[in-house]
């Protein structure tokens, strides 16, 4: 009886134990389609941004180039592919300069950071942070007014006013970002401090400085592309518009223009209906409804663009350059 009661107590204790916790459902397997979509998005996002930037800089170049020659760029109707193609030569040099300059700055500031990472240089580290912030903020304050108005710039007109303010903001933001990095990193210079309100504030400041750095570089590249477009137009005009096709016009009515060195012939009734002939024009551009013509003898300082509507009044013979 005693053994039986002991067995009953053991059975009661075993039955009173809580049931084991339910096992978690295994994570559903991801389909190959979703995995491919995520990888495609990772690849496509930077490509989309790059394509948009190339399109923007290409449109800047086209507008600056044709506006300098006296042709409204909006009338020409460039395709997206044509606009992007015009941006490659325009942004090649500034991008190379940006990559080389970024590498030099990264190596220089990286070497400085490794030297200041020694715990024995804690005082020098604090001094470096203060000086980097002071110099960086000063440079940014000197360059930022140009983003609001050229009248607020402290630099003389010309290339100093176009490029130096953005460059000063970029250099100042870089120094300040490095100061924030020194402030947030530990004495080892590798791991970050644990999150705290002050650290979050410094992180927000660093994010703002990175935005200013990006904005200043974008501004300088846009200024360079615009200046390159105008410079190429000036060189093209001073070179006599080499590379543009020759044009001979046959018109129903006399054409009034101020282009010089244009030969005119009136064939009379025997040449009707296109009795008036004009030689010496070059085709500068063609829009869906207009021809933009210029004299072969025209130069940069005396350029006159003749706009001929494409409405049947005249027809053109075009000869290769």
3-state secondary structure the chain: CHHHHHHHHHHHHHHHCCCCCCCCCCCCCCCHHHHHHHHHHHHHHHHHHHHHHHHHHHHHHHHHHHHHHCCCHHHCCCCHHHHHHCCHHHHHHHHHHHHHHHHHHHHHHHHHHHHHCCHHHHHHHHHHHHHHHHHHHHHHHHHHHHHCCHHHCCCCCCHHHHHHHHHHHHHHHHHHHHHHHHHHECCCCCCECCCCHHHHHHHHHHHHHHHHHHHHHHHHHHHHHHHHHHHHHHHHHHCCCCCCCEEEEEECCCCCCCCCCCEEEECHHHHCCCCEEEEEEEEEEECCCEEEEEECCCCCCCCCEEEEECCCCEEEEEECC
Q: Sign of torsion, CA 226 228 232 238?
A: positive
Say whether both 216 and 274 belong to one domain: no
206 in a structural domain: yes
Say whether both 144 and 277 belong to one domain: no
Report which of 319, 314, 317 is spatially closest to residue 290, judged by C-alpha positions: 314
* Final residue of a structural domain among 195, 220, 238: 238
Q: DSSP E strands: which ranges in 201-273?
A: 246-251, 263-266
Say whether both 168 and 266 belong to one domain: no
Say whether both 98 and 177 belong to one domain: yes
Say whether both 162 and 102 belong to one domain: yes
Q: DSSP E strands: which ranges in 9-69?
A: none
28 in a structural domain: no
Predicted confidence at residue 193, as pLDDT, reads: 46
Say whether both 153 and 180 belong to one domain: yes
DSSP SS3 for 303? coil
pLDDT above 90: percentage of residues in the chain: 18
Which residues of the chain are under the pLDDT cut of 50? 1, 10, 12-15, 24-25, 27, 187-193
Q: Which residue has the tokens 């490659």?
A: 88
17 in a structural domain: no
DSSP SS3 for 272? coil
109 in a structural domain: yes
Domain that holds residue 53: 48-238
Measured CA to CA, the distance from residue 42 to residue 56 in angstroms comes to: 22
Predicted confidence at residue 292, as pLDDT, reads: 92
Say whether both 101 and 218 belong to one domain: yes
Say whether both 148 and 165 belong to one domain: yes
Predicted confidence at residue 49, as pLDDT, reads: 84
Q: Which residues pair with 69 in a beta bridge?
A: none
276 in a structural domain: yes
Say whether both 168 and 267 belong to one domain: no
Measured CA to CA, the distance from residue 208 to residue 137 in angstroms comes to: 12
Measured CA to CA, the distance from residue 287 to residue 309 in angstroms comes to: 9
Predicted confidence at residue 13, as pLDDT, reads: 47
Predicted confidence at residue 188, as pLDDT, reads: 41
For the chain, what is the domain count? 2
Say whether both 116 and 220 belong to one domain: yes
4 in a structural domain: no
Say whether both 131 and 261 belong to one domain: no
5 in a structural domain: no
Q: Are 246 and 282 in contact (CB under 8 A)?
A: yes
Q: What pTM, to 2 d.p., does this model score?
A: 0.75
Say whether both 218 and 303 belong to one domain: no
* Final residue of a structural domain among 182, 212, 238: 238
Predicted confidence at residue 105, as pLDDT, reads: 87
* Final residue of a structural domain among 191, 215, 238: 238
271 in a structural domain: yes
């Amino acid at each position: 009886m005693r053994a039986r009661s002991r067995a009953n107590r053991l059975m009661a204790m075993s039955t009173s134990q809580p049931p084991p916790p339910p096992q978690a459902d295994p994570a559903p397997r991801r389909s190959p389609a979703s995995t491919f979509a995520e990888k495609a998005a990772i690849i496509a996002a930077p490509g989309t941004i790059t394509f948009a930037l190339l399109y923007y800089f290409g449109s800047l170049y086209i507008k600056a180039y044709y506006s300098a020659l006296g042709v409204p760029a909006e009338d020409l109707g460039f395709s997206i592919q044509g606009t992007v193609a015009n941006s490659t030569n325009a942004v090649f040099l500034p991008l190379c300069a940006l990559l080389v300059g970024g590498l030099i700055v990264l190596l220089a500031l990286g070497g400085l950071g490794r030297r200041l990472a020694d715990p024995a240089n804690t005082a020098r580290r604090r001094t470096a942070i203060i000086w980097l912030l002071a110099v960086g903020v000063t440079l940014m304050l000197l360059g930022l007014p140009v983003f609001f108005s050229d009248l607020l710039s402290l630099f003389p007109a010309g290339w100093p006013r176009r490029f130096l303010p953005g460059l000063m903001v970029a250099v100042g933001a870089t120094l300040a970002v490095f100061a924030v990095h020194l402030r947030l990193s530990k004495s080892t210079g590798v791991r970050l401090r644990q999150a705290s309100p002050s650290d979050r504030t410094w992180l927000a400041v660093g994010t703002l400085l990175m935005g200013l750095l990006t904005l200043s570089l974008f501004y300088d590249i846009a200024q360079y592309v615009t200046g390159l477009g105008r410079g190429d137009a000036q060189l093209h005009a001073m070179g006599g518009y080499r590379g543009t096709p020759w044009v001979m016009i046959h018109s129903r009515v006399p054409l009034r223009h101020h282009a010089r060195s244009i030969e005119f012939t009136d064939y009379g009734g025997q040449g009707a209906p296109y009795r008036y002939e004009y030689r010496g024009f070059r085709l500068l551009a063609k829009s869906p409804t207009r021809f933009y013509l210029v004299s072969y003898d025209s130069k940069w300082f005396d350029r006159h663009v003749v706009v001929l509507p494409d409405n049947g009044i005249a027809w053109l013979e075009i000869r290769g350059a």
